[in-house]
Structure 1
Amino acid sequence: MSESWKRTTRKAEGTISTTRKPQPACDQHPVVSRTGPRRSESVRVAVLHAADDLLVERGFAALTIEGIAQRAGVAKQTIYRWWKSKVDILLDTLTDDAREALEWRTGEGSPEDDLKDHLQRVADFFQEPAGQVMQALLGHAQLDKETAASLRGGFLLEQRERDIAGLRVLLARAQDHTVDDRTIDHLVDLLLGPLYYRVLVFGKPIDKELVDTTARLVLTLARESASPEAG
């Protein structure tokens, strides 16, 4: 059973992130730890699960290594052996969860429908524990340069590359014209900017009208800015 499947199943069992209840320590499965050079996968998964659960329950400021260790059923020293701070743990859990949640899935419907579906998955992601981890890290990054550098140079950069590649594939299906790299880069800003603005600035959920309107406008702009393929 893959880790991504287990973490997806775990999210499904929780249904809504803000209503998930923590398991009592006595009900949790024992964690296998070891002191060798390789990190135990059971420890890693338990720590990541504990971190995003506690973030949702208590918020970023109240999240501590001690609390994560207690919830995960591991020693605090075990955590410090592999992560130097709670930020590093949250970056790991964000990378694990978001890779699948924000994946582009094109070719299943019309280009417009696929784009709307992708934006809706982005909207849903913000309501999940991983989305709340992302919001907490983005907020902390405004105050901490090290967090900002790690987040922007790691997860955000990788996700940006996936978004550019995904939109490029979708636009290739949508029209017989090519869109240059610089334009696609700007279109990604226009595609995701309204969603991030709604959530991060105003703290409001993303409604279907915003998703549909944004998808239509980006496709329209792509058509207007495209140039005929040579040949």
Structure 2
Amino acid sequence: MTDSRQPDSTRRSERSRRAIYEAALALVGEIGYAKTTIEGIAARAGVGKQTIYRWWPSKAAVLLEAFLDLAEQAAQGETEIPDTGDLAADLRLVLRATVDEMNSPAYDAPARALAAESVVSPELAGQFVHKLLEPQLQLYVKRLRAAQETGEVRTGIDLRIALELFTGPLAHRWLLRTLPLTHEYADEIVDYALNGLAPRP
């Protein structure tokens, strides 16, 4: 009996998209962003070059979407900072996980490539901030606001500045690569930052 079913183009497109994501991330990790090309990504993914150009305008756009997908998989559906009632413990947990992510080769190479490209591409920088960075920062705002309501953080502070006390040092050390990123360092960031945020008499 002849199978008259038509090929599922949606499933085929998703397979191709996934292969392109994996190829882009792998090539950036192996040969660096500068040497990575659309042609190389297409060859690695087993698709035509025009398939990539039909979905993305540049290799930077491909890498950004692949990195966003990687971040989503790493989150495994967790979209909140825990609220156990212990702000310090919750922040230590999150910052330790961030340290592990930053130390991962799968994260490091594409993240550095996007950071460098964002310097010369305002459009890419805007997309990176809007699609990935800002949603993550808002999780800190939400958790710190909850801590204000329970008296763990004093009222009247700028929560945007407050969250930078936690995220800024990690980003700075990661970018410079001068000192190791460790769980102990993450714990100290929390301790130092919260001592400055504690309610005043």
Report the TM-score range of the alignment, normalised by the length of the smaller protein: 0.7 to 0.9
Give 1:138's aligned residue: 115
Report the CA distance between 1:183 and its aligned residue: 2.0
- Give, in whole Å, the separation in 1 of the partners of 2:152 and 2:184: 28
Give 1:123's aligned residue: 99
Q: Would the alpha carbon gap of residues 177 and 78 (structure 1) be closer, same or farther in structure 2, given more than 3 Å must change?
A: closer
* Structure with the larger RCO, 1 or 2 (CA within 8 Å, 6+ apart): 2
Partners of 2:87 and 2:152 within 8 A in 1: no
Give 1:114's aligned residue: 90
Give 1:155's aligned residue: 132
Partners of 1:50 and 1:68 within 8 A in 2: yes
- Give, in whole Å, the separation in 1 of the partners of 2:149 and 2:69: 29
Give the alignment of 1:78-117 within 5 angstroms. Answer: 78-99=51-72, 101=74, 103-107=79-83, 110-117=86-93
Whether 1:53 aligns to 2:29 is no
Q: Which amino acid aligns with 2:180?
A: P
Instruction: For residues 115-174 of structure 1, give each alpha carbon's deviation from its aligned partner in whole angstroms, at most 9, with x where no partner exists.
Output: 1110011111112323431221111111233322332333222322233224434x2586
Q: Would the alpha carbon gap of residues 176 and 127 (structure 1) be closer, same or farther in structure 2, given more than 3 Å must change?
A: closer
TM-score between the two structures when normalised by the length of structure 2: 0.80
TM-score between the two structures when normalised by the length of structure 1: 0.71
Give 1:205's aligned residue: 180
Moved over 4 A (4+): none
Partners of 1:120 and 1:208 within 8 A in 2: yes
Q: 2:168 aligns with which of 172, 182, 193?
A: 193
Whether 1:41 aligns to 2:26 is no
Instruction: For residues 74-112 of structure 1, give each alpha carbon's deviation from its aligned partner in whole angstroms, at most 9, with x where no partner exists.
Output: 111111110111111111122222245464441358332
Q: Which amino acid aligns with 1:145?
A: P
Q: Would the alpha carbon gap of residues 71 and 218 (structure 1) be closer, same or farther in structure 2, given more than 3 Å must change?
A: same
3-state SS of paired residue (1:142): helix
Q: Which amino acid aligns with 1:120?
A: R
- Give, in whole Å, the separation in 2 of the partners of 1:173 and 1:153: 28
Whether 1:223 aligns to 2:181 is no
Q: 1:175 aligns with which of 146, 151, 170?
A: 151
- Give, in whole Å, the separation in 2 of the partners of 1:144 and 1:98: 21
Give 2:4's aligned residue: none
Structure 2 gap segments, 5+ residues each: 1-6
3-state SS of paired residue (2:120): coil
Give 2:39's aligned residue: 66
